[in-house]
Amino acid sequence: MSGPILKTEHLHKNFGGVIAVQDFSFEIREGEILAIIGPNGAGKTTIFNLISKIYQPDKGTIEFDGTDITGKTQIETARMGVSRTFQNTRLFTGLSVLDNVKVALDFAGKYTLLEAMLLLPRRFRTEKETTARAMACLKLLELDRYAEARPENLPYGIQRRVEIARALVSDPKVLMLDEPAAGLNPEEVFQLVDFIRAIKTKYPKLAILVIEHRMDLVMNLSDYIYVQDFGETIAKGKPDEIRNNPLVLKAYLGEEE
């Protein structure tokens, strides 16, 4: 098996006096689903923001596909193939679902501003390709019937899936899902689990990194779990090992009376 697709070593981030992430090391391979769990304020989202370069780490390195990306900007990291969703869906209002997915391909569009304004042939060709690719992705994820809808008018569960589709359309190597189940009702959570499983079969090489604090979802889904508490990794292992880990139970459920 090849080396890890994404790897961090001794990642560290402070906000003023607050230690958000302390000495976080992990690695994920192609085709793996890895979960980072922990109570609120455990620094999970900060880890995502460090990997996607919304924040720069104070210490530590991030390696993607064998190259060091610690010093890269958010835009460069995204273009290399590290894709993510956000805790509160950040779909672009004012664009249809299809356009929301297309916009994820647009940075690499093959026509210039002038060609766009004068409606030259390359614009039509590229637009056709982009639309086809976005529609193919929506079809694959069974979202194509919402293509023309405005995302703000869709149920929250669908919005989540559209957001995941938007993150997937550019064929990233790593997909990071930031609390995909937040704000969903139990039924929608079930659908989401199926949805993520479906993604795994349809994109077999994709590495998926999930942040979640709902144990049930994580246990069903992931191959490997990291447990964070107050910025530190308190446990890591396969779902079964985590389930019975006393430290995890303590952090998660509080002291047993």
Q: Is 46 in the site for other proteins (CB under 8 A)?
A: no
Q: Which is nearer to other proteins, 78 or 227 (CB)?
A: 78
Considering only residues 25, 61, 74, 191, which one is a binding residue for other proteins as defined by CB under 8 A? 74
Q: How far apart, in whole angstroms, are the C-alpha atoms of residue 83 and residue 167?
A: 6
User: Which residues, 129 to 148, sit near other proteins by CB under 8 A?
Assistant: 130
Q: Is 123 in the site for other proteins (CB under 8 A)?
A: yes
Q: How far apart, in whole angstroms, are the C-alpha atoms of residue 21 and residue 173?
A: 24
Write out the two tokens for 210: 């999930």
Cβ neighbors of 15 (< 8 A, separation 6 or more) are none
∠ CA 44-46-62, nearest 5°, is: 100
Interface with other proteins (CB under 8 A), residue total 38
Residue 150: CB atoms within 10 A of its CB come to 15
Q: Which is nearer to other proteins, 120 or 247 (CB)?
A: 120
Q: Is 127 in the site for other proteins (CB under 8 A)?
A: yes
Element (H, E) at 15: strand 6-15
Q: Which is nearer to other proteins, 123 or 160 (CB)?
A: 123
Q: Which is nearer to other proteins, 90 or 205 (CB)?
A: 90
Q: Which is nearer to other proteins, 99 or 188 (CB)?
A: 99
Q: Is 234 in the site for other proteins (CB under 8 A)?
A: no
Q: In whole angstroms, how close is the CB of 67 to other proteins at the nearest point?
A: 17
Length reported for the chain: 257
Q: How far apart, in whole angstroms, are the C-alpha atoms of residue 54 and residue 46?
A: 9
Determine the residue type at 242.
Answer: I
Strand segments, DSSP code E, in 183-250 are 207-212, 224-229, 232-237
Contact 96, 48 (CB under 8 A): no
Q: Which is nearer to other proteins, 150 or 200 (CB)?
A: 150
User: Which residues, 89 to 108, sit near other proteins by CB under 8 A?
Assistant: 90, 92-95, 99, 102-104, 106-108
Considering only residues 34, 78, 174, 242, which one is a binding residue for other proteins as defined by CB under 8 A? 78
Element (H, E) at 125: helix 121-140
Q: Residue numbers of the site for other proteins (CB under 8 A)? A: 52, 54, 74-75, 78-79, 83-84, 86, 90, 92-95, 99, 102-104, 106-109, 111, 113, 116-119, 123, 126-127, 130, 149-150, 152-153, 166, 170
